[in-house]
């Protein structure tokens, strides 16, 4: 790869539907055309030295919980055409053996995560910034569904994190960058067709303007 990849930053608060947006978006491309770096895989490891009770109270919604230096280094490796090998993040579940992720360079590089616009060295590299948002009650209901069903948290734990960790972090480290983004996608609906349509439009523009010269 002799050409710098087109770098897309995708950020959204918890429950905004960012994961579903990414899933739909990636379906428009082959593995050779796009690669994904997720901020979630760069949390500093803490689970090994903490009890479940301590983990439950730990605030993961702060920039200092991310190994920002390693994240930037790996983005630079991909920009320069190198493959990155990274241990996946298992959300502090000690019962899961993490896999080694192989991230190969591609003409389109997607960087996603809560703090990617807050980390200036990352934000300055982005060619396209996409902000995904949802009304607070919609986002909270999605968060409750996910954490109760998939992660086994209690209703009280989810609400505590939401009020004390999630929303304060969103308002301080993500929301201030909303108006700087090239595209803001409002995702209050449960209708998949609307998000699929948005990803089709964006991917078509990228195919015409970015991939056509590859």
Query: Quick check: is 1 in a domain?
Result: no
Alpha-carbon dihedral angle through residues 72, 76, 82, 83, given to the nearest 10 degrees: 20
Q: Give the tens place of pLDDT for each residue, 31-60.
A: 999 999 999 999 988 766 677 777 777 898
- Beta carbons within 10 angstroms of residue 171's beta carbon: 11
pLDDT higher than threshold 60 for residue 202: yes
Query: Quick check: is 214 in a domain?
Result: no
| Bigger pLDDT: 95 vs 111 | 111
Q: Give the tens place of pLDDT for each residue, 114-150.
A: 999 999 999 999 999 999 999 999 999 999 988 877 7
What is the pLDDT confidence band of residue 88, given thresholds at 50, 70 and 90? confident
Query: Quick check: is 213 in a domain?
Result: no
Range of the domain at 41: 6-207
Non-local (6+) Cβ contacts of 146 within 8 A are 15
Structurally, the chain folds into a number of domains equal to 1
Query: Quick check: is 55 in a domain?
Result: yes
Query: Quick check: is 169 in a domain?
Result: yes
Query: Quick check: is 26 in a domain?
Result: yes
Query: Quick check: is 24 in a domain?
Result: yes
Q: Token pair 């990849």 is at which residue?
A: 5
pLDDT of the residue at 27: 93
Residue 28 sits in a domain of what CATH number?
3.40.50.300
For residues 136 and 188, give the distance between their C-alpha atoms in angstroms, rounded to a whole number: 9
Phi, psi of 75 (to 5 degrees): -60, -40
């Amino acid at each position: 790869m002799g050409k710098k990849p087109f770098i897309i930053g995708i950020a959204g608060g918890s429950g905004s539907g960012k994961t579903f947006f990414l899933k739909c978006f990636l379906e428009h491309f082959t593995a050779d055309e796009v690669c994904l770096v997720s901020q979630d895989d760069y949390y500093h490891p803490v689970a090994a030295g903490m009890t479940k009770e301590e983990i439950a109270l730990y605030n993961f919604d702060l920039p200092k919980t991310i190994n920002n230096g390693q994240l930037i280094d790996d983005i630079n490796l991909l920009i320069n055409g190198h493959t990155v090998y990274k241990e996946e993040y298992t959300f502090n579940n000690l019962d899961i053996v993490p896999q080694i992720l192989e991230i190969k360079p591609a003409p389109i590089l997607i960087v996603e995560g809560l703090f990617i616009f807050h980390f200036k060295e990352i934000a300055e590299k982005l060619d396209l910034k996409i902000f995904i948002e949802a009304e607070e009650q919609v986002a909270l209901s999605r968060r409750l569904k996910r954490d109760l069903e998939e992660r086994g948290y209690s209703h009280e734990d989810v609400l505590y994190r939401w009020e004390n960790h999630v929303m304060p972090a969103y308002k301080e480290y993500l929301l201030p960058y909303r108006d700087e983004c090239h595209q803001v996608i409002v995702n209050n609906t449960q209708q998949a067709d609307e998000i699929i349509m948005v990803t089709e439009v964006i991917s078509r523009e990228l195919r015409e303007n970015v991939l056509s010269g590859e």
